[in-house]
Amino acid sequence: MKDPHNRIILWAWIRATGIKGWNCCLSLPRILSLGPDNKLKYAPLPELEKLRKKHYKFSNIVISQNSKEILKKIRSKHLEIVIKFELLDAKSFGIQLFKSKSINQAESIGYDQ
């Protein structure tokens, strides 16, 4: 759809099998465009920044297999996370979000080489 600013906005319906909680929900709106290399580019709507509240910034953190609860002090039902990982000697890595001690459950984001 095009908005009044002539931007092409994409809303997506997320469907996956075997995923609890994220299956069949609406994604955040994104602006679609063509980059100078004629490749499709997308970015979140800048208007979403109005939803942001407290900001945390971490940098130059070395995460090992023994690292635990790095983001423990961050409490929110909604998160916008920008992460840049540099693989040193790891073949995989990940973080857990929304971890609950009472029901032993968490959402995981990870990468396997």
In the chain, what are the helix, strand and coil shares in percent, each to the nearest 5? 5, 30, 65
**What's residue 79's pLDDT?**
74
- 45 with 58, same domain: the answer is no
Residues of the chain with pLDDT under 50: none
Q: Is the pTM of this model over 0.85?
A: no
Determine the Cα–Cα distance for residues 113 and 104; give it in Å rounded to an integer.
27
- 40 with 57, same domain: the answer is no
**What's residue 72's pLDDT?**
74
- 31 with 64, same domain: the answer is no
The range of the structural domain enclosing residue 29 comes to 1-49
- 23 with 42, same domain: the answer is yes
Question: In this structure, what DSSP letter does residue 66 have?
Answer: T
Radius of gyration from C-alpha coordinates of the chain: 17
**What's residue 40's pLDDT?**
95
- Of 53, 8, 13, the closest CA to residue 30 belongs to 8
**Domain count for the chain:** 2
- 35 with 80, same domain: the answer is no
